[in-house]
Every structure is written in C-alpha cells, then in structure tokens.
Structure 1
Amino acid sequence: MATSTTDAPSRRSVTATGRLASWRTVDIITIAFLGAAFGIVFWGWAFAYEPLSKLVTVAYVPLTGLFAGTWFLAGVVGGLVVRRPGAALFCEVVAALVSMLPGTQWGASTLVSGVLQGLGAELAFALLGYRAWGPAAAALAGALSAPLEWVFEVMKFPASWADVPVLGTVAGGGGWYAELVLRDKIAYLGALGVSGAVIAGGVGWLLTRQLARAGALSAFPAGQEVQEARAV
C-alpha cells in the first residue's frame, strides 16, 4: 500500500509504494510514454515560441522568459505521477530528446536544457523529501526548473570548449542572453521562475489531477488520491 504525509484522507499526499528507489516496470513505461508525449508538445511549441518571443523582445527582452514554462512541464508532471527519485529528470530528458530528433532551432543544446530543467524539478521534490505532491510542490518544481537553465542561457562559454568532446555540445548552444546587462539577466531569471511556477507548476498539477480523475493513473499515487477523495 502507498503511504501518506497527513491524516486527512481527502487532502493527503500519497507517496510512492515501497522503497522510493525501487522503480516498477509500469513506472518506467509510463515515464517514457509521458516524456515522448511532452516531446511532441515541445516540438510543436517551438514553432509558436519563436513569433511570441520576437513580439515581446520589442518591448523588453527578459519577458521572453514568460513563455518558457511550457518547456518545464514534463519534469513536473513526471514527478507528480511516479513520485520516485529520478522521475522528474527522466521525463524531462526523454521529452527533450524526442523534441530534438525532428530538428529544432536549438539543435543538440535542447538535450542539455532538458537535463538542466529536469535537475531543477528533481531538486524541488528532493527538498520536500519526495513526500509532498500538492499544488505548492508542483509550483516549486516548476520554479526551480528555471535557475540552471538560466545559467546556461546567460553564460558565455569559451570557444575552446567546442573542441572538447561532450563540452562541445554545450559550447555550441546556450549563452543566448549573455550580452544582457546584469539587471536584465536577473529580470529574465524572474520571468523564467514565474513562468515555471504558473505554467509548469499550475498547469502540470491540474493536468495530473485530470488524468487521475479520468482513471488513467489508477496504478499511481495520484490516482489513489482521487479514489480516496471520492470515498469520503
């Protein structure tokens, strides 16, 4: 049986069954499926992101960060569904890989971003001990998906890195906002964080709840939460 963090059956956060590090086959398959689905969404969003970002750039460049939260959705939803260490990172990386394969304007750096965003979401759930899974936890995971990605986007990498295996991928991407002044870089971080909390956190939590209510997550803690709430 799954365990919980509170005594109120209608409000408790149900945690993963057994040892947190022990993944079930259904966990792996579901995260792979979710990641692939989000990867298709990410690929499609890339086409909408381009004109939207150009539109707000005319007003204030850091505002482009307000559209980034969509990229963080996979990590948040993956974590909320499986609720085991590594789920957020795994889902975000799969999504990034799938979105990269058809080709995007960011090339291989898409995968780097996926790793960084997934690590941020994973950190949020780890800070909560993998025991809190409500809207606040989802918002925190969305917000913390931003900082490492922000570093990647505002940091200027040495050209010599391009000749180093693995690091060459990093040198070939990122640094898109390296020329911004510090004030604007900080504003961009704020925009990323807000977008992550609202879009990835809020929408991600609602999406997970809807999937659970539809019966698609009956094998997972999120589905058990809905069943318990209906039984009260």
Structure 2
Amino acid sequence: MTAQHTDPATDAPTETGDPADADRRSPYRWRVIDVVVASVLAVASGLIFVLWNIASNPISAPLSALLPGLQALVGGGWLFAGVLTALVVRKPGAALFGELIAAVVSALVGNQWGVLTLESGLVQGLGAEIVFAVFLYRRWNLPVALLAGAVSGLALAINDLILWYPGSASAFSTIYVVSAIVSGVLLAGLLPWAVVRGLASTGALSRFAAGREARGRKSAAPREAAAR
C-alpha cells in the first residue's frame, strides 16, 4: 500500500507527500502557498510600480524629446509583475493575477492615471497570460518569458495608443509599439526570469517547480564535470 500524507500547502492528502507529485497530478490547481506567494509578489511589485511612477518621468521626457514614441521604453517597468508571478507560481491565471494586483496597489497608493491603472493592469496581464496559455502552462523557459514580456509590451502599446494617443501619426505609433515591445522583452521578460533563477538558486523557491529545477541543475553539474 502507498502511504498517505497531507500536503501542508493545501491540507489535502497525497500519496507520497511530495509536492512534485502533487504538481504532476494537478498541474493547474492553485495551492494555498501559491495564493500567498503570488499575493506577496504582486504587492511587492505594486510598490515598485509606485516608485517607477515617479522615477520614470525624468527618463521618459528626454526620450520623448529625442524621438517621439521612444518614451515607451520605460513601459516595461510596469509589466514585470505578471511574468514574475507566473514564472514562480506556474498556474493558470498567475500572470493576470500578479499584474492586476500590482496595478491595484499602485492605484490605491495614488498615481496620475487613477482608475485607468486597473484597466491597464488587466490588459497587460492578459497579454502575458495569453502566451503562457498558448504553451498550455507547461513551458517556463527563457524564450517563453521573453515572448510573454514582448506580448505584454505590445498590449501596453496598443492600450496607450487608444487611450492616450488617439489619432497618432503612423511613425509615432510604430516607434511607440517597437519601444514598448523591446522594453517588455528586457524588463518584463529577461529581468523576471533572472530574478526567479536567482531566488531558486538560494532555495527560497523550494516548494515550487522552479526551485526543484534549480536543485536538479545543481545536482547535475558535478556529474557533468566528472564525465568530462
């Protein structure tokens, strides 16, 4: 007979008590620890959004003066929450949850966009969420993270052009879209992926698949070195 154990994250019985086994059997089910960690990441990201609301202005103004539309290069600073949360939690809805909660925090603290911050968070979170959904929530590598950041940047650009720059010239719109995508790739794709890799290597994500993958890489390294 197989021993029954209780998963401390969900209080649900499992056959082995191994979180990896629970993930394999229910890859789309949110655990209690998923909700808690996703909320912590989202709130922390929202506080960074608040700081970026202030810090981005001295950067975006010169960029706009240099080449109108180039100011979208700062947009990635409001996009990383969704990708970061998704890369850690790896559950359906994680990207949307992370980006939207971060936007709520930013709006509650106060910014110049008011309630439209929530609409932006929803659109940008959906952009990243669509990418992870296309890969059936089973691919969490660097290329997928970069693509999620890029699509989130595209969503930001389209939303901004509709809300804030209606009737813009095609040259401005093109520059704005390309700049937002580049920013999304770097700040919302590459940066969260590097942060998750760093956290996983410390053991902080041991209850998540990202942490187990890091342990696997560490254990494989000595074997590969010995084989050479």
TM-score by length of 2: 0.84
Tell me how far 1:149 sits from its aligned partner: 2.2
Summarize the alignment of residues 62-81 of structure 1 with structure 2, pairs less than 5 Å apart.
62-81=69-88
Asked if residue 34 in structure 1 is aligned to residue 47 in structure 2, the reply is: no
Looking at structure 1, the residues matched to 144 and 63 of structure 2 have their Cα atoms a distance apart, in angstroms, of 29
* Residue 23 of structure 1 pairs with residue 57 of structure 2: no
The one-letter code matched in structure 1 to 2:25 is G
Q: 1:197 to 1:77 in 2, by over 3 A?
A: same
For 2:122 and 2:217, locate their aligned partners in 1 and report how far apart those are by CA, in whole Å: 35
Number of residue pairs aligned between Structure 1 and Structure 2: 202
Q: Determine whether 1:128 maps to 2:116.
A: no
User: Which residue identity does 1:192 align to in structure 2?
Assistant: A
User: What is aligned with 2:168?
Assistant: 180
Q: Does 1:210 align with 2:217?
A: no
Whether 1:99 aligns to 2:109 is no
On the 8 A contact 1:16/1:82 being kept in 2, the answer is no
Q: Which amino acid aligns with 2:208?
A: F
Q: Which letter does structure 1 place at the counterpart of 2:126?
A: L
In structure 2, runs of 5+ residues without a counterpart are: 1-18, 221-228
Q: Which residue is equivalent to 1:45?
A: 52
Q: 2:40 and 2:49 mapped to 1: Cα distance?
A: 14
State the alpha-carbon separation in 2 of the partners of residues 150 and 72 from structure 1: 11
Mean CA deviation greater in 51-60 or 136-145:
51-60
Alpha-carbon distance in structure 1 between the residues aligned to 2:148 and 2:195: 15
Partner of 1:84, secondary structure, is coil
Instruction: State the Cα deviation string for residues 160-207 of structure 1 (Å, max 9, x = none).
Output: xxxxxxxxxxxxxxx222242022112211110111011111111000
Aligned counterpart, 2:215 = 227
d(CA) in 1 for partners of 2:69, 2:25: 44
Amino acid of the structure 1 residue aligned with 2:179: A
Structure 1 counterpart of 2:67 = 60
- Alignment match, 1:151: 158
Most deviating of 130-139 and 24-33: 130-139
Structure 2 CA distance, aligned partners of 1:148 and 1:207?
Answer: 23
Are the aligned partners of 1:20 and 1:85 in contact in 2 as well (CA < 8 Å)? no
Give the Cα–Cα distance (whole angstroms) in 1 for the partners of residues 27 and 156 of structure 2: 27
Deviating more after overlay: 116-125 vs 126-135: 126-135
Tell me which amino acid in the other structure corresponds to 2:172.
D
1:198-224 Cα deviation digits (max 9, x unpaired): 111111100011111122111101100
Partner of 2:226: none
Question: Are 1:53 and 1:64, in contact at CA under 8 Å, matched by a contact in 2?
Answer: yes
Does the alignment pair 1:198 with 2:186? yes
Compute the TM-score of the two structures, normalised by the length of structure 1.
Answer: 0.83
The amino acid across from 1:213 in the alignment is S
How many percent identity over aligned positions?
40
**Structure 1: which 5+ runs fail to align?**
4-14, 156-174
Choose between structure 1 and 2 for higher RCO, CA contacts under 8 A separated by at least 6 residues: 1
Q: Report which of the two structures shows the higher radius of gyration computed on alpha carbons.
A: 2
Amino acid at match of 2:110: G
